Amino acid sequence: MEHKLLDKIEVPHDRFEIRLSGSGGQGMILGSVILAEAIGVDYSKNVVQTQSYGPEARGGASKADVVVSTNEIYYPKAMQLDMLLCMTQESMDRYYADLHKDGVLIVDSGLVKNVPTETYYALPFTKIAREEAGHVMVANVVALGAIAAFTGIVSKEDLIDAVLKRAPRGTEEKNRTAVEIGYAEAMKVKKDPSRRAED
Amino acid sequence: MVDTQRTLLLGNLAAVEGAIYAGMRFYAGYPITPSTEVAEGCSRELPKIGGRFIQMEDEISSIGAVVGASVSGMKAMTATSGPGFSLMQENIGYAYITETPCVVINVQRGGPSTGLPTKVSQSDTMQARWGPHGDYTAIVVAPSTVGDTVTETIRAFNLSERFRTPVVILMDEIIGHQRELISLPKPGEHQVINRVKATVPPEEFQPFRLTANGVSPMAAYGEGYRTISTGLTHDPMGFTTNEPKEIKVKLDKLRNKIMDFRSEITKLRVEMMDDAEIAFVSYGSVSRAVLLAVALARSAGVKVGLVQLYTVWPFPDNKLRDYCQKCQKIIVPELNMGQIVHEIRRVMPPDTEIHSLQRYDGEILTPMQILEKLEEVM
Amino acid sequence: MATVEKTKSVEKQKSDVVLNYFRPRKKLPSVWCAGCGNGIVMSALIRAIDKLGYSKDEVAMVSGIGCTSRMPIYLDFSALHTTHGRALAFATGIKFAKPHMKVIVITGDGDCLAIGGNHFIHACRRNIDITAILINNHIYGMTGGQGSPTTPSGSISTTTPYGNVEKNFDPCKLAEAAGASFVARGTVYHTPQLEKAITKALDHNGFSLVEVISNCHTYYGRLNRRGDAVSMLNAFKENSVTTAKAKKLSPEEMEGKFLIGTLHEDDRTEFCDEYQKVVDAHMGEK
């Protein structure tokens, strides 16, 4: 069918759409809230955060989206992702189709084995959290550090501030370390993409 | 100067912020998805400001306790969804006939019955207007963003206090469960309206006296007036009546006190309507998809605009006719099987082409779906 | 808590005391049938309030639907005549909003125990300081004699024309089990004792229930051949046993009788008091 109107329409790229996906318990929703707050420190940016609720959000695939724009954000939901984080194979399989062809794909290389593209970043977030940051629970925060490095959507300092605001008392250092390691590891990968397959 | 008030706020908690700003100090409710965060927020915040939160045994008693608190002089609120809103209808009707100010938030989900607890819908639009049995006129407002939710909740309380009537806030799962960075209003930024209190000596006081604007001053319990409120149809003293003349006076009062001030109650957002040939009319979360669709269509040279209803009821007959008078076509996107579209058909001249765009599978209409509909009717 | 002023009682126990509490400008007669027990309960309640020295402004009277529920309209207190069964829910809102008010719920067996049963057990559970006066006439009177949750098994009503096959509630046991901290039963025959029970209930801090066994000779009496109001009151006299006397009776001797007097009393914490502690602990927090 010929679309007289739709063919003429170009969606202006004034939005940056991020999705954090994984399974329940991996902290994707909290991660998205922290990311939204960190980005929001820049008052020129508007931010909307949404998430999947209900049975869909329990156990199986869990997702949370952050839409960023310097303009008023009309439509609150993600339409074509500019960045997708996948912390499980299931979320990879489920949400890859929502990623823009030029979008950034970031996966936990310890947990995601089949990636349907050659262009992506991989780091073993969960393994890094367990072995280097002190606890597997901060895998989401390691991933946030990596997102800051890979996308530049937020500075490392603003991210650390936002993480510390949400961190339970006594876990501040662990969380700070998690951001630092995630950020540093991602910068290495970014400079030398051949490293990405290593676990 | 950096605005330090900007916070990432959940839609449901924005309702709590707005309500507290407006002076709400009493919340009674029963938890139900997707409205539960309103109750949770109130349970956290109200003790800090000397307010009161109570989790009741069901939605029927929740709105009952809210009315009890309001006749005692407090600004009171409840929030619910789906089946809970159905359960509340009996005592919302009681609030209409006893002219008791209160606010009921309905964070809409899919139905009928238990339906879709975690999915968005706008299928309570008609229930919000016609839910309780009998004749009365309803005020219903509908925010579309987290920021709107704060201001519309303040407005709902103001309308409720000014007109001595319950006001329903129609939210939905998307608004309730999204977080946005917003600046909370500062004290004094918005007007806060309080009910007109009784001033005449108790022996002269008539709690339901017909006044020039239809709204009777109100006396709180425990302040010397010892009034009656009854769900039975009553005369200006509050005494029950079966007299046809008195019955008509009472029911006319319930309608006229609102309809005589309709133009002040209705509120619309009008975007790009000056030269629009095709208009979208929408309300609630779907308006945001329409806004993007309108912006995109405009960039492709289509003369299209949006009229967004912040007040859904009473329906803004005249304002809508005025804004849409040059439009041959109107598209009405709703997350239901077509509800408010009937009002638009009623209001617009018969030669206007009116198209209902419906989605009722638990998902929001996307900008692309709205553009597809636009292309189809162009 | 107000204390009982005994000196006042003798002087004021005349009918003019009752007349002092009628709502000005309200046209009587009431909707109640001649001989109805509701008037007796109303008098006992007024005398109790008068004895306790409550001001009219500090009393809120809340009711639902039914014959009993018209009572607040006749009396000179703040009155909330609400929907069927929901009086306790509305009353909870008033009490919680204005804890210094004396909130009294007037209800019947159908209103309180059928459609309002859930609100009843939860008001008991919270132990909120409301006094519920449940006038139990074992039938729906206002709507013409239908069966209620206290209609005895085997009894006739317009909806149990062949005899009631259901079991009936004991509202006092229900209230105690649900957590009410004061429970008493009286009858419309034993008016001084009733006044005393209501006085104690009003003076108690916590949820209090006074069940009043009353007569609906118009429907219950007629359908079940119990005679007129006087015969029914006499039956209440014969079939009731005080808690003190009951201790001396064997189960066989108690057969077919019911207890009157204070059936339960404890000093569990009251809901509004407990919430106030939460407010005091968190007031002013960010």
Q: pLDDT tens-digit profile of A133-142?
A: 889 999 999 9
- In angstroms, the CA A110 to CA A115 distance is 12
- Main-chain phi, psi angles of C84, to 5 degrees: -65, 120
Determine, for residues A40 and B297 on separate chains, whether the beta-carbon distance falls below 8 Å.
no
Give pLDDT, residue A52. Answer: 81
Write the CATH number for C71: 3.40.50.970
Cβ-nearest to B291 among A43, A51, A74: A74
pLDDT band at A195; cut points 50, 70, 90: low
Q: pLDDT tens-digit profile of B238-272?
A: 999 999 999 999 999 999 999 999 999 999 999 99
- In angstroms, the CA B113 to CA B11 distance is 24
CB atoms within 10 A of CB C263: 19
Name the residue of chain B whose CA is nearest to A4's CA. Answer: B375
pLDDT tens, per residue, chain C with 286 residues: 444 455 455 555 555 799 999 998 877 788 999 999 999 999 999 999 999 999 999 999 999 999 999 999 999 999 999 999 999 999 999 999 999 999 999 999 999 999 999 999 999 999 999 999 999 999 999 999 999 999 999 999 999 999 999 999 999 999 999 999 999 999 999 999 999 999 999 999 999 999 999 999 999 999 999 999 999 999 999 999 999 999 999 999 999 999 999 999 999 999 999 999 999 999 999 8
Give the total number of structural domains in chain A. Answer: 1
Question: Is residue A62 assigned to a domain?
Answer: yes
Average pLDDT for B93-121: 97
Question: Is residue C17 assigned to a domain?
Answer: no
User: pLDDT at residue A60 above 70?
Assistant: no
pTM: 0.95
Tell whether C28 lies on the interface with B, counting CB pairs under 8 A. no
Chains that touch B (3 or more CB pairs under 8 A): A, C
Domain that holds residue A36: 13-197
Domain that holds residue C250: 34-282
Looking at A4-13, B195-204, B274-283, B331-340, which range is the least confident one?
Answer: A4-13
Give pLDDT, residue C13. Answer: 53
User: Residue C286: its chain B contacts at CB < 8 A?
Assistant: 48
Name the residue of chain C whose CA is nearest to B90's CA. Answer: C83
Q: How do the domains of chain B map onto residue ranges?
A: 6-183, 266-377
CB contact at 8 A, A122 and A195: no
- In angstroms, the CA A126 to CA A44 distance is 33
ipTM: 0.96
pLDDT band at A196; cut points 50, 70, 90: low
Pick the CATH number of B266-377 from 3.40.190.10, 4.10.640.10, 3.40.225.10, 3.40.50.920: 3.40.50.920
The amino acid occupying position A90 is E
Determine, for residues A37 and B119 on separate chains, whether the beta-carbon distance falls below 8 Å.
no
Q: Which of residues 114-173 of A touch B (CB under 8 A)?
A: none
Give the total number of structural domains in chain C. Answer: 1
Tell whether C228 lies on the interface with B, counting CB pairs under 8 A. no
User: pLDDT at residue B75 above 70?
Assistant: yes
Give pLDDT, residue B254. Answer: 97
Determine, for residues C100 and B49 on separate chains, whether the beta-carbon distance falls below 8 Å.
no
User: pLDDT at residue B2 above 50?
Assistant: no
Q: How many CB pairs under 8 A join B and C?
A: 147
Name the residue of chain B whose CA is nearest to A55's CA. Answer: B118
User: pLDDT at residue B1 above 50?
Assistant: no
Give pLDDT, residue C30. Answer: 87
Q: Pull the structure tokens for residue C13.
A: 């126990």
User: Residue B71: its chain C contacts at CB < 8 A?
Assistant: 78, 80, 94
In this structure, which topology does domain B6-183 adopt according to CATH?
Answer: Rossmann fold (3.40.50)
State the average pLDDT for chain B. Answer: 96
Give pLDDT, residue A198. Answer: 46
Give pLDDT, residue C26. Answer: 77
Name the residue of chain C whose CA is nearest to B73's CA. Answer: C97
How far is B53 from chain C, CA to nearest CA, in Å?
9
User: pLDDT at residue A199 above 50?
Assistant: no
Q: pLDDT tens-digit profile of B305-338?
A: 999 999 999 999 999 999 999 999 999 999 999 9
Looking at A42-46, B51-55, B361-365, C231-235, which range is the least confident one?
Answer: A42-46
Q: Pull the structure tokens for residue A30.
A: 């909290």
User: pLDDT at residue B208 above 50?
Assistant: yes
Task: Check if B6-183 and B266-377 are the same fold.
Answer: yes
Write the CATH number for A118: 3.40.920.10
Give pLDDT, residue B221. Answer: 96
Q: Do chains A and C meet with 3 or more Cβ pairs nearer than 8 Å?
A: no
- In angstroms, the CA C42 to CA C48 distance is 10
Q: Do chains B and A meet with 3 or more Cβ pairs nearer than 8 Å?
A: yes
CB atoms within 10 A of CB A4: 10
Cβ-nearest to A75 among B34, B292, B297: B292
